[in-house]
Amino acid sequence: MRVASSQLYGATIRSMLEQQSQLAKTQEQLATGNRVSNPADDPIGAVRIQGLERSLERTAQYANNSVILDSRLRLEEETVGNSIEILQRVRDMAIQANNPVHTEESKGALLVQLKQEINSLLSYANTQDNDGRYIFSGYQNAAPFSYGEIGGAAGRGRGLGEGGMTEVAGAVKKKKQEGAGAGKGGEKR
Amino acid sequence: MADLLSNALSSLVSNQRALATTSHNIANAGTEGYSRQKVEFSAQNGVSIGGLTIGSGVKISDIRRMYDDFSTTQLRAATTASGQFESQYDLAIQLDNNLADSDLGLNAFLSQFYNSLQDVANEPSSLSARQLFLSEAQTLSNRFSDVSTQVDQIDAEIADRVESAVVEINNLSSQIADINKLLSESSRVSGGGNSDLLDQRDKAILQLSELVNVTTTEQDDGSINIFIGRGDALVLGGNANELAAVNSADNPTRRSVVLAGNTSFDLTDTLSGGQLGGALSFQREILDVARNELGRIAVSVASSINQQNNAGLDLYASRGQDIFALAEPRIADASSNSGTATLSAMISDVSSLNAEDIELRFDGGAWQAYSEQTGTQITGITGSGSAVDPFVINGVSVTVAGSPAAGDRFFIKPTADAASSFRVVMTDPARLAAAAATRSETSLANTGDATVSESQVVDPDNANLLDPVSINFINANTYQINGSGSFAYNSGDAIVINGNQITINGIPNAGDSFNIVANTGASGDNRNALAMAATEDSKVLVGGSQSINDAVSSLVGKVAVYTRSVDINFQAQQNLKALAEERQASVSGVNLDEEAANLVRYQQAYSAAAQAISTANDLFQTLMGAFR
């Protein structure tokens, strides 16, 4: 084939430019550490990358959610655990009091001790977290438990219940709800 | 004797001209579009003397323009195609970068937005988490408007490109017309084509081909007629028809291409190929689609979040309000409309929305809707167009007021303005409705072991949603609602009252009761915030088959695939163009070695001819000497 002089240069320059543009592309990949810099480089890959990026972000958010849930549940666990200990001690005292050798004085001392235990139980039931929210008040934010009026006696079961009457369901459910919310994080992806 | 001299003279003259042509070739070796010229020698007819025919020298019969019609046509076609894909790629890559950048793309902002909702769900009573959510919402709305501004900028760039292409086309077509005039005059005078003028004209036509697809027909007088679009004449002989770029009838931000002599006839849609055709097809095929898709994503984010926020209770224990607002569908009337009808439109069903614009036509009796992108008729339209019973077209409710005339047309762009107008209207973070509207309660006096589920709002629009409801069991299998009626109880059945749904499980005793009450004071409730965060994944688009994330991915994918395909086509057409150029150059291009050889050849012939003259002189001197 006849070759024009201009063609000789044209072909060389074209091939050089092509190599240069490929070199630029490779250098860009090297510099960014990304194979796909525009979605058009790999459309299917780019869509997948977007999905994965969202999953990554979401998982990080779920991890964050779990940390918050974890600290709340720890506080609740600790509080409930302490309350059980109090109930144990109260039970011990009841057994201890069921003894004819007790004098009025020693019974009085037991009563003082009992009152203290009940007071601590009430304060556990009205525990607040570091944001000042009552952890057993369900959706509401008011002290859920207080002494009732019945019989003037402190710490009776019914009295305790009255303050928290409408909240109990909420309190139980709140825990469940939070569990479900953060649990979702774990389940979904 | 005289023959020797005149033969030598003819050779001198011819070779001199050949040398001139060779030097012309050498001079233009680098000139774009130059076709090499070749000198054709032919022997002059001999003279008969005494039965013998003696040659009478040489003449130049032709200075031929080395030219191949086929490869020129091929080069034009390849140039048109490569120009088209080049401009499509240039524009598409901008859109591609804007939409999907890992830091600036829409995806990253949507991700942060939904994450901030989960943060609110973690601490529903925290005003700082709520404030952060509002900030993220604001950032998202800024991003929507940024992306749509970028889309608008690409649109503006296309308008500029159309304008400058029109100027350039006019320039080239008047050049071609001028050359046509010169050529037809010179063909009348000398009967032959002018090689360099032809080259100039071919170059102009090639440049024109790069801008837009043209067809050419050659006339007997050597001039070429040029047509664009569906056969509209751009150049006829020595006359050029000017094009003009005018504001588009249905969209003033766009330019339409018309013939300057007949501005009412819009050529825009008939133009194809070349940089102009490429920019226009990019606008039609992907830019409009991307803008509408973007709008659809904005609409679905706004409507799903607003709807869910309206279903809950805020920190003031009031029903939630809208968080986002955006523009209603854009409606344009055709300038040719003669009726008095005005249309109004609103989006009524996000799941039926698509990325197509709607053209409504009134034929004198009925309305028809067409997709502007595909041109096909839209079926499945319901309603009569009145205020109480609007037309519902692809999820858009359209109401007609006034009376239309036959032939009237309206253009509805359902989501074109949605992304640019997407804004946050909520300012008070306490107004974010993180709490569900109602809660269920178990009476403490219950003695059975039945438990009630959370109340779930299934119909937020129910007028009695917040009214207190009590469910009292008469016995283990029957209950009353608010003290009346008698309903059969089956453990685990869903009970729906006033838009609330609860489920009671287990065996209740007679006298047990459960309540549904307004969820006042519930600063710790995050159920509605969780539901809002979950809207990210709920399939709210395309008839319930696509989530918002899917829609973003599909938009990015659509633009990426388009960009990739025009890129590949561009490279292929560039290679084809290079091949065609090579092919043309192999016929028309100047080879300097060849020209150097010609120089030597013609110079030697010239020297020999001079020697022949000298010989003639010697002969003459010999003759004169004989008589001295």
A40 with B92: Cβ contact below 8 A? yes
The string of pLDDT tens digits covering residues B422-471 is 999 999 999 999 999 999 988 888 999 999 998 988 888 899 999 999 99
Chain A nearest-CA distance from B172, in A, is: 25
What is residue A160's predicted lDDT score, i.e. its pLDDT?
31
State yes or no: pLDDT of A185 exceeds 50: no
Chain B nearest-CA distance from A57, in A, is: 7
Q: Comparing C-alpha atoms, which of B62, B15, B42 is closest to residue B604? A: B15
A2 with B591: Cβ contact below 8 A? yes
Answer for the pair A65, B122: CB distance below 8 angstroms, yes or no: yes
Q: Which chain A positions have a beta carbon within 8 Å of B36's beta carbon? A: 4
pLDDT band at B191 (very low <50, low <70, confident <90, very high): low
B260 inside 8 A of chain A by CB: no
Q: Give the amino acid at B189.
A: V
A43 with B560: Cβ contact below 8 A? yes
The string of pLDDT tens digits covering residues B346-357 is 999 888 888 889
B578 inside 8 A of chain A by CB: yes
B111 with A46: Cβ contact below 8 A? no
The string of pLDDT tens digits covering residues B390-417 is 999 999 999 999 999 998 989 899 999 9
A7 with B582: Cβ contact below 8 A? yes
Which pair of tokens denotes residue B446?
């219950």
The string of pLDDT tens digits covering residues A105-154 is 888 898 899 899 989 999 999 999 888 888 888 888 888 888 875 443 33
User: How many whole angstroms separate alpha carbon B319 and alpha carbon B311?
Assistant: 7
Helix (H) or strand (E) holding B52: strand B52-54
User: How many whole angstroms separate alpha carbon B220 and alpha carbon A138?
Assistant: 96
User: How many whole angstroms separate alpha carbon A96 and alpha carbon B546?
Assistant: 68
Chain B nearest-CA distance from A26, in A, is: 17
What is residue B100's predicted lDDT score, i.e. its pLDDT?
72
The contacts of residue B614 (CB under 8 Å, 6+ apart) are none
Q: Which chain A positions have a beta carbon within 8 Å of B586's beta carbon? A: 1-4, 7
Answer for the pair B271, B213: CB distance below 8 angstroms, yes or no: yes
User: How many whole angstroms separate alpha carbon B404 and alpha carbon B521?
Assistant: 55
User: How many whole angstroms separate alpha carbon B167 and alpha carbon B149?
Assistant: 27
Answer for the pair A154, A147: CB distance below 8 angstroms, yes or no: yes
Which pair of tokens denotes residue B294?
């973007």
Which pair of tokens denotes residue A186?
């774990």
State yes or no: pLDDT of A168 exceeds 50: no
Given the cut 0.85, state whether the ipTM is greater than it: no
Q: Comparing C-alpha atoms, which of B399, B323, B305, B304 is closest to residue B360? A: B399
Q: What are phi and psi of B557, to 5 degrees?
A: -60, -45
Question: Length of chain B in residues, anyone?
Answer: 628
Q: Which chain B positions have a beta carbon within 8 Å of A50's beta carbon? A: 100, 105, 107, 552-553, 556
Question: Angle at the Cα of B113 (from B110 to B114), degrees rounded to 5?
Answer: 90
State yes or no: pLDDT of A50 exceeds 80: yes
Among candidates B527, B587, B592 on the partner chain, residue whose Cβ is nearest the Cβ of A5 = B592
User: How many whole angstroms separate alpha carbon B330 and alpha carbon B324?
Assistant: 18
Among candidates A14, A40, A57 on the partner chain, residue whose Cβ is nearest the Cβ of B567 = A40
B29 inside 8 A of chain A by CB: yes
**Arithmetic mean of pLDDT over chain B:** 91
A2 with B590: Cβ contact below 8 A? no
Among candidates A40, A49, A54 on the partner chain, residue whose Cβ is nearest the Cβ of B549 = A54
- C-alpha radius of gyration, chain A, whole number: 35
Among candidates A57, A65, A161 on the partner chain, residue whose Cβ is nearest the Cβ of B111 = A57
Least confident of A31-45, A141-155, B160-174, B435-449: A141-155
Chain B nearest-CA distance from A71, in A, is: 12
B589 with A65: Cβ contact below 8 A? no
State yes or no: pLDDT of A157 exceeds 80: no
Q: Which chain A positions have a beta carbon within 8 Å of B441's beta carbon? A: 166, 169-170
B513 inside 8 A of chain A by CB: no
Q: Which chain A positions have a beta carbon within 8 Å of B93's beta carbon? A: 38, 40
Among candidates A1, A14, A58 on the partner chain, residue whose Cβ is nearest the Cβ of B578 = A14
User: How many whole angstroms separate alpha carbon B79 and alpha carbon B77?
Assistant: 5
Which pair of tokens denotes residue A158?
């019914």
Q: Comparing C-alpha atoms, which of A125, A135, A134, A138 is closest to residue A170? A: A138
Among candidates A46, A57, A137 on the partner chain, residue whose Cβ is nearest the Cβ of B100 = A46
Among candidates A50, A170, A181 on the partner chain, residue whose Cβ is nearest the Cβ of B100 = A50
Q: Provide the pairing of β-strand B500-505 with B469-475.
A: unpaired
Alpha helices for B231-322 (secondary structure H): 274-282, 288-311
The string of pLDDT tens digits covering residues B548-599 is 989 999 999 999 999 999 999 999 999 999 999 999 999 999 999 999 999 9
User: How many whole angstroms separate alpha carbon B267 and alpha carbon B264?
Assistant: 9
Among candidates A2, A43, A65 on the partner chain, residue whose Cβ is nearest the Cβ of B122 = A65
Q: What is the pTM of this model?
A: 0.84
- Express as a percent the part of chain B with pLDDT over 70: 98
B582 with A168: Cβ contact below 8 A? no
- Which of B444, B471, B562, B588 to substitute to test the interface with A, most A CBs within 10 Å? B444
pLDDT band at B2 (very low <50, low <70, confident <90, very high): low
Chain A nearest-CA distance from B248, in A, is: 31
What is residue A142's predicted lDDT score, i.e. its pLDDT?
84
B107 with A138: Cβ contact below 8 A? no
State yes or no: pLDDT of A17 exceeds 50: yes
B442 with A169: Cβ contact below 8 A? yes
Least confident of B186-190, B236-240, B309-313, B437-441: B186-190
| Mean pLDDT of the region B34-42 | 93
User: How many whole angstroms separate alpha carbon B551 and alpha carbon B251?
Assistant: 26
Which pair of tokens denotes residue A148?
């009732």
A50 with B553: Cβ contact below 8 A? yes
Q: Which chain A positions have a beta carbon within 8 Å of B105's beta carbon? A: 50
Chain A nearest-CA distance from B565, in A, is: 9
Q: Comparing C-alpha atoms, which of B223, B193, B227, B213 is closest to residue B35? A: B193
